[in-house]
C-alpha cells in the first residue's frame, strides 16, 4: 500500500458534486488545506452533459432555483454570481400540455399565473390558486432558514420550530399526502395533477409524499434562472474559484474505503491502493453507500435508516440535439397523461405506465434570442427504482416508442430522432455506479438521476461530514 506522507493532512472532500465543490471553495476561502477526490473526469456530479452536434446537452439539473443560496455562496468567497455567470430569469416558469388540447403557462409573477389559471379553469380556480400560493409561501418562509438552510437540520429542531409557530401545523397538513392536500385545494383535476408533479422533483409520488412538499412550488415561483452555456458552467466556475483559493482537485480518483482512528475518520484509500491521510473528511455522496459498507465497515453506523428505506423513483432520461416540429415550447415543458394515478401505481409496483407524463427541457429557449434550427433537449420520464442491481435495461425500441410515441399524440416530433446513445436508464446508472467504488453516486439509490428537474436548492444538502463516523445516524 502506498501512503501519502504530509506534515499536515488536508481536509478531504469526497465527490465533486455541487455540494462538494461549494464546501471545498468555502474551506479554502477560510485558509484550510483542501483536497477534492472525484472518480469522474470532470466536476459536477449529477450536473452532467453529453456531447451533441449542437454542443453539450445537460442530462441532469437544467435550471437554478433558490438563487439567494448561490448569491450567498459567491459572496462568502468575496465574489458576485453575476460577475462570473450569465443568468437568464425565466418569465414563463413552465408550459403545460394535456391530451385534450389544454395548455397552461405559469409565470414568475403570481398575478399573471392567477390570471392564466382563471382563463384556463375559471374564477374559482383562480381564487383557489391564490389561497394555495399563500399557504405555500407561509410554509416556505417558515422552513427556509431553520430547516432548508440549516447546517444540521434535525427532526427535533423541526418539532421545536413548529411549536414556536403553531400556525404552520395547519399549513403543513401533517396527516395528509400531497395528493390529498391538492384534492382539498383545487376543484380542477388538471391543477391537482400539475402541482402534484412537484413530488417527482425529489423522486416521490404525490400519493405517498407529505403535504409539506407543496412548498416546492414556492421555490420555483420565487424565480427560475437558466445558466448561459448550461448548468455545468456553474460547476466549472466553483472549481475555478476553489483552485484560486488553494483547493486541489484529483479526478479519476476512486475512493474505495474510509479509514478510522478510533471514532475519527482519518484517511481514505483509493482503488489503486493509495492511502491519503485526512484532518477531516467531507463525504458528498449518497449516505446509503456508507451505511451499506461500500466505503468500508467503519462507516456502517452512518445514516443507518437508508439500509431499509425504499429507493425513490428513478427516471429514463434522453439528451440529444434535433429540430422540433409541433407545439411552441418554452424552456420548461410538461406533457401530462390524462389521469395521473395509474402511472404512480404502476411505478410503485415496479412497472412503467404507458403514455407517461413527460418533462421536456428545451435548453436553448428562454435565453433572450431565437434558437438555431438544431436545438438541445432533455426529456425525462419517471421510472421505477431498481430492486435488483443486476436488472437489465428495457429494450431501446420499447423506451423510444413509449416516449416519442406519446409526444407524437401531442403533435410533437423531432428530426433527427435520437438514437440509443441519447438514452440513460435506471440500469445505466446502476451499472455506471457498480463499475467502480462509489463516491458521488450517480445511481438510483435514494435519488433520481436528476435530483430536481426544476433546479438546485442548496449547496450543502448532500454533504455529510464524516469526521466522527460512529456518532452519525
Tens of pLDDT along 332-350? 999 999 999 999 999 999 9
Tens of pLDDT along 322-331? 999 999 999 9
Please provide residue 109's backbone torsions phi and psi, each rounded to the nearest 5 degrees. Answer: -125, 125
**Mean pLDDT, range 4-25, rounded to an integer:** 86
C-alpha cell at 336: 401530462
pLDDT at 92 over 50: yes
Which residue ranges make up each domain of the chain?
Answer: 3-45+230-306+454-471, 109-221
Please tell me the predicted confidence (pLDDT) of residue 387.
62
Tens of pLDDT along 441-463? 222 233 322 222 333 333 333 33
**Mean pLDDT, range 46-67, rounded to an integer:** 92
Tens of pLDDT along 129-182? 999 999 999 999 988 878 887 877 777 877 888 888 888 899 999 999 999 999
Q: What distance in Å separates the CA atoms of residue 231 and residue 227, rounded to the nearest whole number?
A: 6
Q: What is the mean pLDDT of the chain?
A: 87
Please tell me the predicted confidence (pLDDT) of residue 285.
87
Task: Looking at mean pLDDT, say which of 1-15, 337-351, 388-402 comes out highest.
Answer: 337-351
Tens of pLDDT along 297-323? 988 888 888 888 888 899 999 999 999
**Mean pLDDT, range 254-261, rounded to an integer:** 93
Q: What distance in Å separates the CA atoms of residue 70 and residue 383, rounded to the nearest whole number?
A: 30
For residue 20, CA distances in Å to 239, 243, 285 come to 10, 13, 9
Please tell me the predicted confidence (pLDDT) of residue 394.
61
- Which residues, other chains included, contact 419 with Cβ-Cβ below 8 Å and sequence gap of 6+? none
**Mean pLDDT, range 90-116, rounded to an integer:** 98
Q: What is the DSSP track for 245-290?
A: TT-EEEES--EEEEEEETTEEEEEEETTS-EEE-SEEEEES-HHHH
Phi-psi region of 103 (alpha: psi -120 to 50; beta: other; left: phi over 0): beta
C-alpha cell at 243: 483552485
Peptide bond into 257 cis (omega under 30): no
Would you give the distance in Å from CA 348 to the centre of its chain?
A: 20
- Which residues, other chains included, contact 30 with Cβ-Cβ below 8 Å and sequence gap of 6+? none
C-alpha cell at 293: 459498507
Please tell me the predicted confidence (pLDDT) of residue 152.
78
Q: What distance in Å separates the CA atoms of residue 332 and residue 361, rounded to the nearest whole number?
A: 5
Please provide residue 49's backbone torsions phi and psi, each rounded to the nearest 5 degrees. Answer: -135, 160
Please tell me the predicted confidence (pLDDT) of residue 472.
25
Q: How confident is the model at residue 1 (pLDDT cuts 50, 70, 90)?
A: very low
pLDDT at 385 over 90: no
- Which residues, other chains included, contact 347 with Cβ-Cβ below 8 Å and sequence gap of 6+? 205, 313, 353, 382, 383, 384
Q: What distance in Å separates the CA atoms of residue 232 and residue 47, rounded to the nearest whole number?
A: 6
- Which residues, other chains included, contact 407 with Cβ-Cβ below 8 Å and sequence gap of 6+? 326, 335, 358, 360, 413
pLDDT at 415 over 50: yes
State the chain's maximal CA–CA distance in angstroms.
Answer: 71
Tens of pLDDT along 400-412? 999 999 999 999 9
Helices (H), 77-122: 81-84, 110-121
**What is the bridge-based pairing of β-strands 423-424 and 34-38?**
unpaired
Q: Helix (H, G, I), strand (E, B), or coil: what is residue 58?
A: strand
Span 109-221: which CATH code? 1.10.405
Please tell me the predicted confidence (pLDDT) of residue 438.
31
Q: Say if 3-45+230-306+454-471 and 109-221 have the same CATH topology.
A: no
Question: What proportion of the chain, given as a percentage, has pLDDT over 90?
Answer: 70
Question: What proportion of the chain, given as a percentage, has pLDDT over 70?
Answer: 87
**Mean pLDDT, range 263-275, rounded to an integer:** 93
pLDDT at 435 over 80: no
pLDDT at 270 over 60: yes
**Mean pLDDT, range 54-63, rounded to an integer:** 92
- Which residues, other chains included, contact 102 with Cβ-Cβ below 8 Å and sequence gap of 6+? 96, 120, 190
Candidate CATH numbers 3.30.565.10, 3.40.50.2000, 3.40.50.300, 3.50.50.60; the one for domain 3-45+230-306+454-471? 3.50.50.60
Amino acid at each position: 500500500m502506498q501512503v501519502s506522507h504530509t506534515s499536515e493532512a488536508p481536509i478531504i472532500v469526497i465527490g465533486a458534486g455541487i455540494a462538494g465543490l461549494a464546501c471545498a471553495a468555502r474551506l479554502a476561502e477560510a485558509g484550510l488545506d483542501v483536497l477534492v477526490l472525484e472518480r469522474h473526469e470532470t466536476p459536477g456530479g449529477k450536473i452532467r452533459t453529453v456531447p451533441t452536434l449542437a454542443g453539450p446537452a445537460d442530462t441532469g439539473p437544467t435550471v437554478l432555483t433558490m438563487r439567494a443560496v448561490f448569491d450567498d455562496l459567491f459572496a462568502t468567497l468575496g465574489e458576485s454570481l453575476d460577475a462570473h455567470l450569465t443568468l437568464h430569469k425565466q418569465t414563463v416558469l413552465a408550459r403545460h400540455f394535456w391530451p385534450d388540447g389544454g395548455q397552461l403557462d405559469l409565470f414568475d409573477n403570481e398575478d399573471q399565473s392567477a390570471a392564466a389559471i382563471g382563463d384556463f379553469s375559471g374564477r374559482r380556480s383562480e381564487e383557489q390558486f391564490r389561497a394555495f400560493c399563500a399557504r405555500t409561501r407561509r410554509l416556505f418562509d417558515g422552513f427556509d432558514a431553520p430547516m432548508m438552510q440549516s447546517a444540521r437540520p434535525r427532526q427535533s429542531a423541526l418539532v421545536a420550530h413548529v411549536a414556536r409557530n403553531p400556525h404552520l401545523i395547519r399549513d403543513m397538513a401533517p396527516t395528509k399526502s400531497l395528493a390529498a392536500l391538492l384534492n382539498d385545494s383545487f376543484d380542477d383535476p388538471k391543477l391537482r395533477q400539475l402541482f402534484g408533479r412537484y413530488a417527482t422533483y425529489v423522486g416521490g409520488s404525490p400519493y405517498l409524499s407529505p403535504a409539506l412538499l407543496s412548498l416546492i412550488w414556492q421555490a420555483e415561483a420565487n424565480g427560475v434562472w437558466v445558466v448561459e452555456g448550461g448548468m455545468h458552467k456553474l460547476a466549472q466556475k466553483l472549481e475555478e474559484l476553489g483552485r484560486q483559493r488553494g483547493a486541489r482537485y484529483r479526478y479519476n480518483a476512486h475512493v474505495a474505503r474510509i479509514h478510522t482512528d478510533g471514532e475519527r475518520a482519518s484517511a481514505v484509500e483509493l482503488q489503486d491502493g493509495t492511502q491519503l491521510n485526512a484532518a477531516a473528511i467531507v463525504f458528498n455522496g449518497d449516505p446509503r453507500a456508507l451505511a451499506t459498507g461500500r466505503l468500508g465497515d467503519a462507516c456502517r453506523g452512518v445514516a443507518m435508516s437508508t439500509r431499509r428505506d425504499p429507493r425513490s423513483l428513478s427516471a429514463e432520461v434522453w439528451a440529444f440535439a434535433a429540430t422540433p416540429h409541433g407545439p411552441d415550447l418554452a424552456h420548461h415543458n410538461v406533457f401530462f397523461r390524462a389521469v395521473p394515478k395509474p402511472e404512480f401505481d404502476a411505478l410503485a409496483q415496479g412497472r412503467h405506465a404507458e403514455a407517461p407524463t413527460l418533462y421536456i427541457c428545451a435548453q436553448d429557449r428562454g435565453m433572450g434570442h431565437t434558437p438555431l434550427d438544431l436545438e438541445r433537449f432533455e426529456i425525462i420520464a419517471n421510472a421505477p427504482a431498481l430492486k435488483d442491481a443486476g436488472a437489465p435495461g428495457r429494450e431501446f425500441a420499447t423506451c423510444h416508442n413509449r416516449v416519442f410515441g406519446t409526444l407524437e399524440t401531442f403533435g410533437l416530433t423531432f428530426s433527427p430522432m435520437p438514437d440509443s446513445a441519447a438514452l440513460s436508464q435506471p440500469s445505466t446508472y446502476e451499472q455506471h455506479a457498480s463499475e467502480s467504488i462509489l463516491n458521488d453516486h450517480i445511481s438510483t439509490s435514494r435519488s433520481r438521476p436528476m435530483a430536481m428537474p426544476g433546479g438546485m436548492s442548496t449547496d450543502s444538502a448532500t454533504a455529510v461530514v464524516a469526521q466522527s463516523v460512529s456518532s452519525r445516524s
